[in-house]
Amino acid sequence: MEFKLHQLDNGLTVIAELAPAAASMAVGFFARTGSRDETDDVHGVSHFLEHMVFKGTQRRTAADVNREFDDLGAAYNAFTSEEATVYYGAVLPEFQARLVDLLGDILRPSLRQEDFDVEKQVILEEIALYEDRPDFRLYEQLMLEYFNGHPLGHRVLGTVESIRNLSRQSMLEYFRRRYSPTNLIVVAAGNLDWDALVGQVTAACAGWEPVQTQRQYLDAPRRQEQRSIVDDKLVRQQVGLIGAGPSAQSPQRYAARLLGAILGDDTGSRLYYALVEPAIVEDVSVTYDPMDGLGAMLTMLTVDPERAGEAMEIVQREFGKLMAEGITAPELSAAKNKIASASVLRGELPMGRLSAVGFDWLYRHSYTPLAEQIEEMMAVRAEDVLEVARHFNLNEATIVSLGPKGMF
Amino acid sequence: MIKEKFFVQEFENGLTLLAEQLDYVVSAAVVLAVPAGCSRDGDKLAGASTVMTEWLFRGAGGRNSRQLNDALDSLGCHREEGVRSLFVHFQASQTHQSLDPVLAIYGDILARPELADKTFDPCRNLVAQELAGLEDDPSRKCNLCLRERFYPRPLGASVLGSEESLKAMTSQVLRAHAKTHLTPRGSMLAVAGRFEWPALRDHVAEVFGGWRGGPLDELTLAAAQRGVCQESKATSQVQICLAYDAPRPQEEKLYYPMRVAEMALSGGMSGRLFSEVREKRGLVYSVGARYHGMKAAAGMFVYAGTTPEKAQQTLDVTVGELKRLGEGIDEDELVRAKTQLKSALIMQGESTAARANGLVGDWHLLGRLRGLEEVSSAIDAVTRQDVLECLAAYPARNITGCFLGPQALDTAALE
């Protein structure tokens, strides 16, 4: 695997990991912007803008954009999180030039009023869709409660009200403020032609004017709230815990990922054996969520309403036990092997590498080859994992319950 | 074009080993398909295949539940079980160094499962919880309802069974069910990725050689229920799930034209459904159609989700597009559909797990393994006339529909 880096005069960074044996290649435009970069009057604009990017440019109508992606046989999409907005496509190598031209062009969208009005309806439908998904509602509520007042608590989709009130003009202003070439990176992975890529990106993006962008870094409030949302239309109880974890930049991130797997992987893990194997809960997961400048540990479970209290006691007891007694060598080694093989499996797909390479650069301005990344993870010791659990104290968390029963 | 190396070996116990060797990867993915799918459960034991699949991992070959899970975990095995209509799929992906020991463990799970009384209840209970959870997952609930109505019985049976059947299930009865249905006869073991052929064949012969079981009776099919089902529920969106007949995968003269038509309807964002229902009218976030085929029956499955006030229009526009497709597709759509199908074929083929699944599908449906070249040529050969003839043979008429939401819809257009 060869790594390449180039910067355009306007500050746009282009990086690539070459894998000549791959059958396809993938390209992504990663924008360092998301709901945490929104002001209070434009909640949901990052995600709405992501939709509008596909709605056409000076050179292309919305229908042209969709048709051209499909003409290339591309697997393509985009997503928005609290911190990043990513536009990507994977194609057979012969279509590299056309894919880069298309992605480069749509990143300077026209944002036409009539398209804006129709797409607003689609966004409202998306919000309605997620209202019917209790696991998503729980996640959103956990973020809101835990980060109360901090920009990371902003809803990625916005609310029905914020979307209704959003104007094209505010979106345009957000776009100008956040989509500077200095705040974007172009990432490519797979079977690609690097020299041609630099030329293609230059042709499509060299005219973009840079502006000053910045992100606000505030300390997380690290709240320890308990909130119960009663919804008698639901049959099952969803319960979640959110607490602090190391940031995406922290050297402790590998240990935190291992801690998540040891505690809450969906095959053998502490909470699997304590809760799922005896069927006390239907499912449980513990995930480490690395973010820019801070991080979180997130636990979520689905349970019979009558057993929700019992399940939460077991979660807290297992967390306490781990912090008191540490972890065993076999469980550390199993977690490492699972994560290593997952990375290898994902790494066999250009789309898998695109994401890993892109976020490595977005968060850390670094490139770590897959083998090196696995080596660093394998070097984590049991005491490093314990240190993360104790330092961030797994039981210092905000707890939210959603379901037919009140819990607190 | 990537050079493909296929291997097939049928063993005397009835198990067929299918393998595709890929030297440029480090992973090896396994799919073991056992003919114990939920169509075999019967009404009385509805949900048996799902409970049984959970139960199989609670101890085998002298390892208890924890030792078994830990052994797979420490080999870096990523496993996923899928209960389907005819087969239960055991999928395991790992690096090639772990392939042999993982296969040995699956040999234990199938040939020497513990199936102990004390581990039965939690397995049944987990499935009962998942069934109860359907009420909180309107989209899945509506889709299960559609499959059940659309396919000839019992092919569309729900993998989760019913409250009554789960309650009545005992460890003894399920053990007997497992003994009959976990049989190597008709089972397929597919491996895709890095391996050495003679060594893989010999290892599989050794670890699965002791697995015994007789053939299963031919499944008797009864007419599908079809028609319309409207369930009232106070949800934010109305779920619209539709299906109509499509050619089966082995009807190759019609199958490829139907896949081309599927692309024109719903391939990517330029597909007709996405353009007309979402892009032009803003009626939905999610709309699409996908083909699903079995040996005995196949269908085009269409989904849309929308808020109640837009539901009728969404249904009308969607069904209008399904009918308009019968007039055929234009040259641009044909060319685009072919590129999409061929690109997807190659890109999906980069995943060893997808390849292993492809081997199982081909062998079961066609009795042979198709190379990329064969599929690619078959796609290239499709003409607009072929598509038109296929759509004439399989028009969007007598559409089966399941709806879930706060209000009922006028479904006259489905006829």
Name every chain B residue with its beta carbon within 8 A of the beta carbon of A22: 350
Tokens representing residue B117 in the block: 């009384």
Q: Are residues B198 and B236 both part of a single domain?
A: no
In a domain, B215, yes or no: no
Q: Are residues B73 and B119 both part of a single domain?
A: yes
Rounded Cα distance between B139 and B30, Å, is 30
Q: Is the CB of residue B91 less than 8 Å away from at least one CB of chain A? A: no
Count A/B contacts: CB-CB distance under 8 Å.
189
Q: Are residues B254 and B381 both part of a single domain?
A: yes
Q: Are residues B361 and B247 both part of a single domain?
A: yes
pLDDT tens digits for range A33-50? 999 999 999 999 999 999
Angle between helix A329-347 and helix B65-74 axes, rounded to 10 deg: 50
Residue A21, pLDDT score: 92
Residue B2, pLDDT score: 55
Q: Are residues B287 and B389 both part of a single domain?
A: yes
Whole-model pTM? 0.97
**Is A66 close to B135, i.e. CB distance below 8 A?**
no
Dihedrals φ, ψ of A3, to 5°?
-105, 140
Query: Position B334: which residue type?
Result: L
How close A73 gets to chain B, by Cα (Å)?
A: 4
Tally the domains of chain B: 2
pLDDT tens digits for range B280-339? 999 999 999 999 999 999 999 999 999 999 999 999 999 999 999 999 999 999 999 999
Residue B125 gets the label, from left (phi > 0), alpha (psi -120 to 50) or beta, of alpha
Q: Are residues B91 and B239 both part of a single domain?
A: no
Q: What is the mean pLDDT of each run of 10 residues along chain A (408 residues)?
A: 97 98 96 97 97 98 98 98 98 98 98 98 98 98 95 97 98 98 98 98 98 92 93 98 98 98 95 98 98 97 98 98 98 97 96 97 98 97 98 97 95
Residue B348 pLDDT > 60:
yes
In chain B, % of residues over pLDDT 90: 98
In a domain, B385, yes or no: yes
**Is B24 close to A72, i.e. CB distance below 8 A?**
no
Q: Are residues B300 and B408 both part of a single domain?
A: yes
**B7: buried, middle or exposed (CB in 10 Å: 19+, 13-18, 0-12)?**
middle
Q: Are residues B12 and B157 both part of a single domain?
A: yes
In a domain, B219, yes or no: no
Tell me, what's the ipTM?
0.96
The residues, ordered by sequence, that sit 6+ positions from A292 with a Cβ below 8 Å of its Cβ are: A36, A83, A215, A217, A247, A248, A249, A363
In a domain, B116, yes or no: yes
HSE of A1, CA atoms in CB hemisphere, 13 A: 20
284-303 in chain B: CB under 8 A from chain A? 284-286
Instruction: Look at residues B208, B240, B274 and tell me which one is the last residue of a structural domain.
Output: B208
Rounded Cα distance between B258 and B291, Å, is 8
Residue of B74, B132, B136 with shortest CB distance to A333: B74
Q: Are residues B300 and B176 both part of a single domain?
A: no
Name every chain B residue with its beta carbon within 8 A of the beta carbon of A235: 132-133, 135-136
In a domain, B221, yes or no: no
Residue B3 pLDDT > 70:
no
Instruction: Look at residues B143, B174, B208 and tell me which one is the last residue of a structural domain.
Output: B208
In a domain, B48, yes or no: yes
**Is B350 close to A22, i.e. CB distance below 8 A?**
yes
Name every chain A residue with its beta carbon within 8 A of the beta carbon of B347: 23-24, 75, 90, 92
In chain B, % of residues over pLDDT 70: 99
Q: Are residues B175 and B243 both part of a single domain?
A: no
Residue B208 pLDDT > 80:
yes
Q: Is the CB of residue B50 less than 8 Å away from at least one CB of chain A? A: no
Instruction: Look at residues B175, B208, B241 and tell me which one is the last residue of a structural domain.
Output: B208
Task: Collapse the DSSP code of A146 into the 3-class scheme (helix H, G, I; strand E, B; otherwise coil) and give the result.
Answer: helix
**Is A67 close to B24, i.e. CB distance below 8 A?**
no
Residue of A nearest to B135 (CA): A235
209-268 in chain B: CB under 8 A from chain A? 234-237, 267-268
Q: Are strands B188-193 and B400-405 parallel, antiparallel or unpaired?
A: unpaired
Complete domains list, chain A, with CATH:
2-205 (3.30.830.10), 226-403 (3.30.830.10)
Residue B1 pLDDT > 50:
no
In a domain, B176, yes or no: yes
**Is A133 close to B125, i.e. CB distance below 8 A?**
no
**Is A124 close to B307, i.e. CB distance below 8 A?**
yes
Task: Note down the domain range covering B286.
Answer: 228-414
pLDDT tens digits for range B18-63? 999 998 899 999 999 999 999 999 999 999 999 999 999 999 999 9
The residues, ordered by sequence, that sit 6+ positions from B183 with a Cβ below 8 Å of its Cβ are: B14, B34, B35, B36, B212, B213, B214, B215, B216
In a domain, B353, yes or no: yes
Residue of A nearest to B65 (CA): A277
**Is A267 close to B73, i.e. CB distance below 8 A?**
yes
Residue of A234, A334, A348 with shortest CB distance to B70: A334
pLDDT tens digits for range B87-116? 999 999 999 999 999 999 999 999 999 999
Which residue bears the tokens 């190659």? B346
Name every chain A residue with its beta carbon within 8 A of the beta carbon of B75: 337
Q: Is the CB of residue B347 less than 8 Å away from at least one CB of chain A? A: yes
Name every chain A residue with its beta carbon within 8 A of the beta carbon of B237: 125, 128-129, 131-132
Q: Are residues B124 and B242 both part of a single domain?
A: no
Q: Of B121, B136, B278, which to mutate for an interface test with A (greatest number of A Cβ within 10 Å)?
A: B136
Domain CATH code at residue B72: 3.30.830.10
Residue of A nearest to B58 (CA): A277
322-341 in chain B: CB under 8 A from chain A? 335-336, 339-341
Q: Are residues B260 and B374 both part of a single domain?
A: yes
Name every chain B residue with its beta carbon within 8 A of the beta carbon of A27: none
Rounded Cα distance between A236 and B191, Å, is 39
End-to-end CA distance of chain A: 53
**Is B79 close to A72, i.e. CB distance below 8 A?**
no
